[in-house]
Amino acid sequence: TWPANSPDLNPIENLWDIVKRKLRDARPNTLDELKAAIEASWASITPQQCHRLIASMPRRIEAVISAKGFPTKY
**Domain coordinates of the chain in residue numbers?**
3-66
Contact criterion met (CB below 8 Å) for 33 and 18: no
* pLDDT recorded at residue 43: 96
Q: pLDDT tens-digit profile of 8-55?
A: 788 888 899 999 999 999 999 999 999 999 999 999 999 999 999 999
* pLDDT recorded at residue 2: 53
Q: Which of 9-13, 57-61, 70-74 has the highest mean pLDDT?
A: 57-61
| 43 Cβ contact list (under 8 Å, min separation 6) | none
Question: How far is it, in rounded angstroms, from Cα 60 to Cα 71?
Answer: 11
* pLDDT recorded at residue 32: 97
Contact criterion met (CB below 8 Å) for 42 and 18: no
* pLDDT recorded at residue 65: 85
On whether the pTM is more than 0.75, the answer is no
